[in-house]
Structure 1
Amino acid sequence: MSVVEDKVTELVNAIQDTNEYKRYQEAKNKLHANPELEQIVFAFRQKNYQIQNSKNVDLFWEVDHLERENIDIRKNPVAEEFMTAELAFCRLLQKINFRLVGGLNFEVGFVNER
């Protein structure tokens, strides 16, 4: 194995040892135990993803509308814990990604964006 592959394995192990990852896994398992709720949560997440990746929409209004439309989901403690844990874990992964990209002088944008 190369040095980079070894370090990636170390990074994966370190991530798996974080509170964010452990909390996410626990919340995910609880959600999986309730397939009906899981389906509702995943439908909400899919709509949210589509809104976040849409162009020419009022993002604030769309997200606010989605939240209001699905307020009952957040009242369910299993669903709320899963979505909160997922967000915390995603933020951890974003920080790691930003550090990698930032530390490597890798330009991810396009020339016309400058």
Structure 2
Amino acid sequence: MNYIDEKTESLIYAVKESAEYKEYQRMRELIHSEPEKERAIHEFRRRNFELHRRRDVDLYSEMDRLEKEFAPLRAEPYVNEYLSAELAVCRMVQRINFRLMEEIEFDLGFE
């Protein structure tokens, strides 16, 4: 295994040992034990993702509509905790990626 692979493995280990990841895994198991709730969460995230990719809509009003539509789901036990834990892991990975791209000289040419 080369140096980069070793360090990558160390980073993966560090992420998996983080409080954020452990909390996400705990919440994920709770949600996974309720398939209907899990499917509804996936639908919410899918529609949220698709909405953010669209350019032909008023994002704020559409997000408001989506939030209202899924308000009953968000009121269910563990749903917001799960989504918050998921977001914490996503932000951690984004920070890692941002830091990496910030520190290496990688010119995309269109920045």
TM-score band w.r.t. shorter chain: over 0.9
With normalisation by structure 1, the TM-score equals 0.91
| Distance in 1 between residues matched to 2:7 and 2:103, nearest whole Å | 15
User: Can you give the 5+ residue segments of structure 2 that lack an aligned partner in the other structure?
Assistant: none
* Alpha-carbon RMSD: 1.3
Partner amino acid for 2:35? P
Partner amino acid for 2:75? K
How do 1:40-51 and structure 2 match up within 5 A?
40-51=40-51
Q: CA deviation at 1:81?
A: 1.3
Q: In structure 2, what is the equivalent of residue 82 of structure 1?
A: 82
Q: CA deviation at 1:58?
A: 1.5
| Distance in 2 between residues matched to 1:99 and 1:10, nearest whole Å | 16
- Provide the aligned length of Structure 1 versus Structure 2: 111
Q: CA deviation at 1:56?
A: 2.5
Partner amino acid for 1:97? N
Flag as ranges the 4+ runs of structure 1 deviating above 4 A: none
Aligned with 1:10: secondary structure? helix
Identity of aligned residues (%): 36
With normalisation by structure 2, the TM-score equals 0.93
Q: In structure 1, what is the equivalent of residue 95 of structure 2?
A: 95
**Structure 1 stretch 55-64 or stretch 16-25: which is displaced more?**
55-64
